[in-house]
Structure 1
Amino acid sequence: MTNNTGESRLPLYRNRSFVLYFFTFLASSLSVAFFLFTVNWYVVDYLRLEAMLGLVFFASSVPRLLFMLIGGAIADRVNKATIMLLSDFTKAVLLILVIGLLVFDLVSIWVLVGLAFLFGLLDAFFWPASSSLLPKLVDREQLTRANSIVHTTQRFSVIAGPLIAGVVIGFGSYELMFGLVSLMLLLAAIVDLYLRKRVGLDEEEQQTHPSVWRSVMDGIRYVKESPFLLTLMLTSVSLNLFLSGPLQVGLPIFARNVIGGGEFTYSLLSGVLGAGMLIGAVIVGVINVNRRRGLVSLISIVALGVFMIAFSLTGELWVSLLVISLVGLTLSIIDVPILSAIQAHTDEKYIGRMMSLISFASMGLLPVSFLLTSLFISIGFSIDEIIFVASCCLLTVGLIVITFAKSIRYVD
């Protein structure tokens, strides 16, 4: 893989382009953690519409799903930092407008649904660009460690974000919280601007490209020729059906209805989940897993199913915190090795499309998962019952994949 800055073989802390990437990723990740916590708690606690929370997640996931492939194709032909800049800046402007609506108490569930839709649309272009930019900044041998640092940053944001947001909302206001999110996005946009100047277009990106649709189809054909990538996508679809809705929609409801807490309890659960993710990312980064990465991820999928079942059966706060930390740890151990293997074994001219296709597969059934979770809540099922059944299905998928998916089990 090429590196336009000539810094790819330097230690990561001396690679200025990677350092800039780290800072913009930190600001973007914190803003996402702040935003998700604030919207989720506003719907559950202020609007008292917990059954509608799945609709907000649905609204954000559909545009990601529909436009992710286009976003990946575009990321392969333009400056990726430019896409990140436009996404971060536009989100900041949208949140400033929402603050104005909050002042006059005009934020309804439908305002939040519309906001979630626009954020999902912007993310459909941001994440393929950011994921495919990293291999251009570091050498192939440093990818696992670089991905571990990026994931550690993201996990730190998942820890710090809810804890900070819980305090700000509890002692401040939703207006102050959304203002903080918009500030983080503006800071990320400024760093994106500097990164854009350092990372230009390489020869491949400067060439004349076929239509976006043809680029997407070329990426799909590339995946079909790889049993590893194809099996991974099918696995991601199944996992997200049984994990995303019950965990993302269910966590604030679990905090209030099962444990009997408030915004601080929700922030603790979210923060400890992130702490587990952080520990998992650090473990993978220190070990620098470069062998049998697929097998490591598959074992973690089975462990994740077991821990999710245990979480559904908890009722005490300290037990829930312990188990949710193990859930977070296994999530990182699943993600980092597989992502590094994909980046290392994908032709550079397809990397943007591969990142978008992997994301597309992982989010393929997200809307269904969110809506099913909300549907079961609305007809009377408790959130712990929903998490238990979904976790049993997740464990079954993990056992099937680890038994039969040789293409993932033996990948390095």
Structure 2
Amino acid sequence: MNETNAVSLIRNKLFIYFFLTLLASTLSVSFYLFTVNWYVVDELQLEAKLGLVFFASSVPRLVFMLIGGAIADRVNKATVMLLSDLTKGLLLVAVIVLLLVDLFSIGILIGLSFVFGLLDAFFWPSSSSLMPSLVSRDQLTRANSIVQTTQRASTIIGPLLAGLVIGFGSYEVMFAFVSAMLLLAAIVDLIIRKNVSYDQDELNESSSVWHNIKEGFAYLKQSPFMLALMLSSVSMNLFLSGPMQVGLPLFARDILNGDEFTYSLLSGMLGVGTLVGALLIGVLNVRQKRGMVALTGIMLLGLFMVAFSLTDSLLLSLMFISLIGLVISTIDVPIISAIQAHTEKKYIGRMMSLMSFASMGLIPVSYLLTSFLISLGLTIDTILLSSSVCLMVVGVFVLVFAKSLRTVN
């Protein structure tokens, strides 16, 4: 990374290559999820099996995430990205063949989702930990903002484009499009692999993967600010994911007395808010007090969730949910940048995977807990209000007791 310290992001060829491959990967994920979901519901008419597809992709992603982080610290990270994109692209070519001969079944789809989840468990720790090798430390926040903006935008644009391709074309055309994107991403990964070099002491090839994982936990335990970051991330996903994802359609129907259009408006404004937040953080390029920025964001997130839970006005609901989306990005980007900036390079893959593991691990729990509370007869606005208060309590606790996070840049 000798040259990137003095080169702006727009002129940093390695970062541009990284941006292109990540754009292809994130859009392909958005396209794939929409296409698979609609194929199960519309073509196979097996709505009850859709949960199995989600389960098949989420479990390996969670279980193998720590191994993926250890692998990312042992080899060239672009190599992992290359193998993941290439394998996915080739698998989708096989899917097109199965569709053409009418042999694409729900069982094959569940198996495919499992493999995709497994590959993601290795791809994302490698891609997120590659950034410090491409840009200088003072550019990390802006670079991560661009990445987050790309990912947020793909969740908004992806379903729209996929719907148009399927509507005017076919499932075969859609899968061919996704496969082509992934294969092109693999070519770009190869270019990055040839241009990113690692010092031998940055890699951990001599010890076992299990030893690398244990080293990662030991490194985490001796870092108070990293532990505080983990607690903040875990709390966000426990108190936010379930109430927002499970509760949003219920809020649209029961609190706002709306329909599917109301739900789509709420979802759309949440996406717009996260996109604007990522852009704002990128423009400001926050480099100082990133921990304090994240903590302030958590407190604001709790306040906006309280306001959202207490309103029955569509206009106010749209305003508050867009603000919720905005502060989510102002929390995520500084946290990721702080980890990348303050972690030794030989540990960065494991730290990013531990962060993902900590946050993802409680998402299913949050879903189940929200569903359980609904089954007990609690209204969704009550659940949202309670979650907001819990999130703010955690924010105050971390703010008071985690001095290392308050002061970290």
TM, length-normalised to structure 2: 0.85
Is the contact made by 2:73 and 2:204 (CA closer than 8 Å) also made in structure 1?
no
Deviations 1:192-230 (A, max 9, x none): 122122223432256742111111111111110111111
1:400 match:
397
Distance 1:310 1:174, change over 3 A: farther
2:291 maps to 1:299: no
Aligned CA RMSD, in angstroms, stands at 3.4
For the residue of structure 2 that corresponds to 1:200, the secondary structure is: coil
2:406 match:
409
1:134 match:
131
1:261 match:
260
Distance 1:12 1:219, change over 3 A: same
Structure 2: distance between partners of 1:27 and 1:241: 30
2:330 maps to 1:333: yes
Q: Give, as a single letter, the amino acid of the residue that structure 2 aligns with 1:20.
A: Y
1:351 match:
348
Task: Note the C-alpha offset of 1:85.
Answer: 1.2
Deviations 1:338-388 (A, max 9, x none): 211111111111111111111111122123223445566778877666555
Which stretch of structure 1 is more off in the superposition, 21-30 or 88-97? 88-97
Taking the TM superposition and a 5 Å limit, the aligned residue runs for 1:2-401 are: 3=1, 6-40=3-37, 56-99=53-96, 104=102, 107-108=105-106, 112-169=109-166, 174-205=171-202, 208-249=205-246, 259-261=258-260, 269-311=266-308, 320-373=317-370, 387=384, 389-401=386-398
Q: How many residue pairs were aligned? A: 406
Q: Give, as a single letter, the amino acid of the residue that structure 2 aligns with 1:260.
A: D
Deviations 1:89-122 (A, max 9, x none): 22233344445566648544x6554443322211
Task: Note the C-alpha offset of 1:129.
Answer: 0.5
For the residue of structure 2 that corresponds to 1:78, the secondary structure is: coil
Task: Note the C-alpha offset of 1:65.
Answer: 2.2
In structure 1, the gaps of 5 or more residues are none
Distance 1:207 1:155, change over 3 A: closer
Structure 1: distance between partners of 2:48 and 2:318: 24
In structure 2, the gaps of 5 or more residues are none
Structure 2: distance between partners of 1:166 and 1:187: 22
Which stretch of structure 1 is more off in the superposition, 168-177 or 148-157? 168-177
For the residue of structure 2 that corresponds to 1:363, the secondary structure is: helix
Distance 1:217 1:151, change over 3 A: same
Q: Give, as a single letter, the amino acid of the residue that structure 1 aligns with 2:303.
A: V
